[in-house]
């Protein structure tokens, strides 16, 4: 899920998302989207596996891919991942459909 701003309450551990959106508008191309947050929530994930986040121009052009380290939090379920990822300077080379993907190796777990 994409949003303008995200934060986590230190006491309750709840995530707050503001300005949720699913489209980015640009006047012209190439364009750069200033800043947004990606909210990731995966169940049935085995901690210790190497995840990455890919930004893909559909159908299969990977614009960028970065490792997604998953911190192990004491007291949290070991089979769940929840994270707020700040994304700055999102490159949009041309009009079209783009997507974020959470990957395990090359397998897409979530889009």
Structure confidence at residue 98 (pLDDT)? 93
Question: Taking the model in full, what pTM does it have?
Answer: 0.80
pLDDT tens, position by position, 71-109: 666 666 666 777 888 999 999 999 999 999 988 878 888
Taking CA atoms, 79 is separated from 33, 48, 49, 106, in Å, by 33, 10, 11, 20
Q: Are 102 and 53 in contact (CB under 8 A)?
A: yes
Structure confidence at residue 72 (pLDDT)? 64
Order of strands across the sheet with 107-110?
61-68, 51-57, 98-104, 107-110
């Amino acid at each position: 899920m994409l949003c303008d701003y995200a934060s986590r309450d230190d006491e309750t551990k709840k995530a707050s998302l503001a300005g949720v959106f699913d489209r980015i508008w640009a006047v012209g191309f190439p364009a750069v989207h200033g800043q947004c947050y990606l909210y990731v929530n995966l169940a049935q994930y085995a901690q210790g596996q190497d995840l990455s986040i890919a930004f893909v121009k559909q159908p299969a052009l990977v614009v960028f891919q970065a490792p997604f380290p998953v911190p192990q939090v004491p007291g949290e379920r070991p089979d769940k991942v929840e994270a707020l990822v700040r994304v700055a300077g999102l490159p949009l080379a041309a009009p079209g459909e783009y997507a974020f993907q959470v990957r395990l190796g090359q397998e897409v777990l979530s889009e």
